[in-house]
């Protein structure tokens, strides 16, 4: 059948319209792409890889080898704190589970605040100016720790007496004049067995008559010793410190140095120890007999080191802690200090740049 001229014109018009529509769509797509990409750039910078095949950049980091160390903390026996004078208790701030602190007062007798003081040797005599001995040395040591400015000797001097009066005055005691008397007498302070102690019982209440030697407070079992339960075998070399409460104290990486008086005192008042002690008491422990608690703290390198994080496969020729890497196409000697999150941490005297991830036939570096 022969196509009419009218049908031919209709088919040509439809083809032309389809062609125009297709061109229009392509033009719009091109225009939209022009808006999405910056001029003269075919790929956004964020999508351009900066890592060459088989190569990665060494990442600088600060390494403190922070670890959790669990201490086996041994508790001693409870201690009864005795009154140094006879009189009437006129005021008391003692509370169960409250802290008794050396250099402060928690109770007044006959309207006079009673100074609490810890000395490593319990007081057994009056200490007059010129007296020598372990008890005199212990008094000077504690007065220095409290900021009184006592001498670093085993002899009571004028500076000892002035330091004692200064500490007493800071505790609210206005007329405890050791310097005027020329002596620190046994009735001038209440002896504490540690620099801080938790009161488990307040034995003397306001209005109560007490005589010298009567029990004023009973302390909770003090911390007698602390020993690490176990130490990781892969510790980074260097001096370490342990965080106990708000104090950071030096300890040795071999597990020694956990028995200092300062460290044991810090454990005694730390939230971690108090929580473990409460849990032990709730479980049936009376706290009157020796017991051991497991308490965990954070310890780390005292001085963090700068290190580089690289893929483990970049390491070759490792001998103990020493190894080699290829940096910027050249062999470099490194010391392996740790592995963390699939990365090996190394230190080096060289400046590390692009690291060969899997070096092929590398040259020795050591």
Q: Fill in the DSSP letter of residue 361.
A: S
pLDDT confidence band for 172 (50 / 70 / 90)? very high
Per-chain mean pLDDT for the chain: 83
Residue 113: burial class (beta carbons within 10 Å; 0-12, 13-18, 19+): buried
Nearby residues of 219 by Cβ (< 8 Å), 6 or more positions away? 78, 79, 80, 81, 100, 193, 197, 198, 199, 200
Task: State the Cα–Cα distance between residues 56 and 265, nearest whole angstrom.
Answer: 49
How confident is the model over 242-263, as pLDDT tens digits?
Answer: 999 889 999 988 888 888 888 9
Nearby residues of 56 by Cβ (< 8 Å), 6 or more positions away? 310, 311, 314, 354, 355, 357
Q: Are 277 and 286 in contact, with CB atoms under 8 Å apart?
A: no
How confident is the model over 73-105, as pLDDT tens digits?
Answer: 998 888 999 999 999 999 999 998 788 999 999
Q: Does 42 have pLDDT greater than 50?
A: no
pLDDT confidence band for 150 (50 / 70 / 90)? very high
Task: State the Cα–Cα distance between residues 148 and 166, nearest whole angstrom.
Answer: 6
The whole model's pTM is what?
0.59
**Looking at per-residue confidence, does 331 or 23 come out higher?**
331
pLDDT value for 312: 93
- Maximum separation of any 2 CA atoms in the chain, in Å: 141
The predicted model gives 37-50 an average pLDDT of 38
């Amino acid at each position: 059948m022969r196509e009419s001229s009218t049908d031919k014109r209709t088919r040509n018009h439809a083809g032309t319209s389809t062609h125009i529509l297709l061109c229009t769509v392509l033009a719009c797509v091109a225009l939209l792409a022009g808006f999405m990409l910056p001029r003269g750039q075919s790929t956004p910078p964020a999508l351009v890889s900066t890592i060459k095949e088989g190569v990665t950049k060494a990442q600088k980091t600060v390494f403190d080898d922070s670890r959790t160390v669990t201490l086996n903390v041994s508790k001693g026996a409870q201690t009864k704190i005795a009154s140094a004078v006879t009189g009437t208790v006129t005021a008391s701030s003692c509370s169960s589970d409250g802290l008794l602190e050396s250099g402060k007062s928690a109770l007044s007798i006959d309207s006079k605040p009673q100074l609490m003081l810890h000395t490593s040797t319990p007081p057994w005599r009056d200490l007059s100016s010129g007296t020598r001995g372990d008890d005199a040395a212990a008094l000077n040591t504690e007065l220095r720790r409290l900021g009184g400015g006592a001498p670093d000797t085993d002899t009571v001097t004028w500076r000892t007496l002035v330091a004692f009066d200064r500490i007493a005055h800071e505790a609210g005691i206005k007329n405890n004049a050791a310097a005027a008397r020329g002596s620190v007498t046994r009735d001038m302070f209440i002896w504490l067995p540690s620099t801080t102690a938790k009161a488990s019982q307040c034995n003397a209440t306001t209005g109560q008559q007490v005589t010298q030697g009567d029990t004023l407070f009973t302390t909770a079992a003090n911390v007698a010793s602390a020993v690490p339960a176990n130490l990781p075998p892969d510790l980074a070399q260097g001096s370490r410190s342990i965080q106990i409460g708000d104090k950071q104290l030096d300890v040795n990486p071999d597990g020694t140095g956990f028995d200092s008086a300062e460290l044991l005192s810090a454990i005694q008042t730390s939230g971690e120890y108090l929580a473990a002690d409460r849990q032990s008491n709730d479980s049936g422990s009376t706290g009157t007999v020796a017991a051991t608690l497991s308490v965990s703290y954070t310890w780390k390198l005292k001085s963090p080191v700068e290190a580089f994080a690289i893929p483990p496969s970049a390491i070759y020729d490792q001998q103990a802690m020493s190894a080699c890497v290829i940096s910027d196409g050249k062999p470099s000697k490194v010391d392996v200090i740790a592995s963390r999150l699939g990365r090996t941490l190394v230190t080096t005297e060289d400046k590390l740049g692009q690291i060969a991830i899997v070096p092929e036939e590398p040259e020795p570096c050591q």
